[in-house]
Structure 1
């Protein structure tokens, strides 16, 4: 997509998770009036129009300061921890796995971070398909406000994520709340050609992501998250690999996959493809689907450094192929999990990753499964 009216050409940003060729083909089909493409893009533009009305996201509007006293530091509370009814002040809080404490939801840094990532990608997609500069303008305003402007930027650390009242100010587990940041490099690729996205914005974002990546890989909390065995470890790897590729550090991306991601296969997957660590949770279907989505994204990223995670297998047959295939009887409604999730869930994530994996594994026969879910329509920008 050629830049128009830009004073200085901005280097094009590559897609990391999205398939540029598939996106271009979908755009062509949309321009030609394809029924499904028109329907999905119309829905997307409606969401983008709503995003145009949103206020600029920031974490600096919170009234309760983190322990550092710096409102620019991200702060959140562990969602599954509640006041102890046997203690006068309720502290230290106790865990109720899968049940979200409203106190945690009242702290908005997590929602604001997720919101800026979602809106920026939605706006970038709207610009990609429509060419309307208003979407790119809003996306760039959101990016500058949240990551770069001195008065409103988030500091590139997660020292105070998922704290537990009475126990700790911050835990490694909070790092999973920044998993949405992988949407930002994709958004910049979609915004290619916009005069709102200049070299200074891209350079500033790469600096911020590079600093956060440094914190992830060197801080005590970051290293602890990397050592977590379940989905937290998966999404830690995903972030490090994605951010490393974004800032041009392919060596770190490759090293992370080789030294951390590949060994996780034996830890997380049973020979039959099940995920014991996730099935042991109070929301087994939610966590099984969520974790597999992280693995599918890692498999896409791994190809950028010449690693075929899609077809990697341990000597006893554990691997991503088996893990995705394990979903089949459940999506076909032939089996049910022994334990239902304690809170309502859906098949959307499982269907999305299953459809993406079917591009790699023809044996998955995604069309048979998707026929059972006529309301599900996966777009090429969903992964």
Structure 2
């Protein structure tokens, strides 16, 4: 007797309702953008056109897999994900450079070579891009390409990645992988939403869906029980916030709604109250050598939690901690810096940062509450972000 997986069930629900079963992108928002595009809304058309161009480019991608990397992970299984800490460099005072030393905020280019982090992120991002293009256009070629990319990285026996991050962000001479490496899994929500978007297509089969649910279920168990996973759950900075984003999205995808809701409610205290001051500052991020970059990065994670919270009725925007901590104060602090003329004076910033990355945050905040200051900044600087696809998803 056939026993439907949760993924198969929500696929059926989506087919009946017409709504995609995304979690990091509100389904109602996608439907509204689709309706606006079909109606010829000029505020949406450029973003959809750009999305289609990106998807057309992705059609030419060769599938990547963990088997492509040049370096063999510790333990000798090439199916294991493997990467290096990006801020770690050879010690110039040691003949062999070992153990590596840390230079916060300074990326070692060698950390990007011959390992899995770059193709992993590129694959997940492409699956979402193609999934969105399929949603807006109905073109089967986009769904078929997204399915191909996902199968090669996650499902096919000869090329699939093992569902763990045991060897993420290893540091030569120090360790074979760290919990901190889980930050590189922050693109998995792209994969999950991309898969949700292509479910109506014949290119994504029930067998594919069951296989992906199995893989993500195994990764979720690893995340919740492994040394590296538990290490990141305890993190008190951006790593802890992104852990909750990932764990909550996985729980929602796997049908563990109560687990997701509990984690998202707990994060109001454990993450928002603990990491954001009443004046909106994020002290753990401000002490970094690229404090502006990390403030943006962590604010994005908080906004992702807010979006996930919409799925289970957890309100991040109106939450206030005992001293007035909240996501809105954090946004009020950050928003003015969308203006490139406003100097960053809250901490070190040893390299340039793209101010336009704040613009999607403003658009998301305006979904929660009208704010003339936010809207003015968005109208004044909105054209500065060349990739306009955020207008469809935030």
Q: Point out the more displaced range, 103-112 or 223-232.
A: 103-112
Partner of 1:145: 152
Residues 158-202 of structure 1: per-residue CA shift (max 9 Å, x gap)? 000111100000101100101100012211232242111222211
Q: Distance in 2 between matches of 1:105 and 1:166?
A: 18
**Distance of aligned partners of 1:150 and 1:369 in 2 relative to their CA distance in 1, 3 Å threshold:** same
Partner of 1:337: 345
Q: Point out the more displaced range, 122-131 or 354-363.
A: 354-363
1:27 to 31, 34, 37: 34
Partner of 1:185: 192
Return the offset for 1:125: 1.3
Partner of 1:375: 384
Verify the 8 A CA contact 2:268 2:316 in the aligned structure 1: no
2:203 pairs with 1:204: no
Verify the 8 A CA contact 2:79 2:161 in the aligned structure 1: yes
Q: Distance in 2 between matches of 1:286 and 1:370?
A: 19
SS at the partner of 2:380?
coil
Partner of 1:101: 108
1:82 to 72, 80, 89: 89
Q: How does 1:248-259 map to 2 (within 5 A)?
A: 248-259=255-266
Give the TM-score taking structure 2 as reference length.
0.91
Verify the 8 A CA contact 2:82 2:116 in the aligned structure 1: yes
Q: Point out the more displaced range, 17-26 or 226-235.
A: 17-26
Q: Distance in 2 between matches of 1:379 and 1:165?
A: 38
**Distance of aligned partners of 1:328 and 1:353 in 2 relative to their CA distance in 1, 3 Å threshold:** closer
The CA RMSD over aligned residues, in Å, is 1.9
Q: Distance in 2 between matches of 1:280 and 1:340?
A: 8
Q: Distance in 1 between matches of 2:236 and 2:259?
A: 20
Return the offset for 1:306: 2.6
Q: Distance in 1 between matches of 2:372 and 2:92?
A: 49
- Unaligned runs of 5+ residues in structure 1 are 1-8
Return the offset for 1:363: 3.1
1:162 to 145, 169, 182: 169
Residues 287-324 of structure 1: per-residue CA shift (max 9 Å, x gap)? 10110111111011123223222211111100111111
2:242 pairs with 1:235: yes
Query: How many residues end up aligned between the 2 structures?
Result: 376
Q: Distance in 2 between matches of 1:243 and 1:154?
A: 17
Q: Distance in 1 between matches of 2:356 and 2:69?
A: 33
Residues 240-264 of structure 1: per-residue CA shift (max 9 Å, x gap)? 0000000001122123223445222
2:271 to 252, 264, 273: 264
Verify the 8 A CA contact 1:182 1:239 in the aligned structure 2: yes
Q: Point out the more displaced range, 109-118 or 339-348.
A: 339-348
Q: Distance in 1 between matches of 2:362 and 2:344?
A: 17
Verify the 8 A CA contact 1:352 1:378 in the aligned structure 2: no
1:366 to 361, 374, 384: 374
Residues 317-354 of structure 1: per-residue CA shift (max 9 Å, x gap)? 00111111111332345553244522221023222112
Verify the 8 A CA contact 1:290 1:349 in the aligned structure 2: no
Verify the 8 A CA contact 1:358 1:365 in the aligned structure 2: no
Q: Distance in 2 between matches of 1:339 and 1:315?
A: 26
Partner of 1:4: none
Partner of 1:18: 25
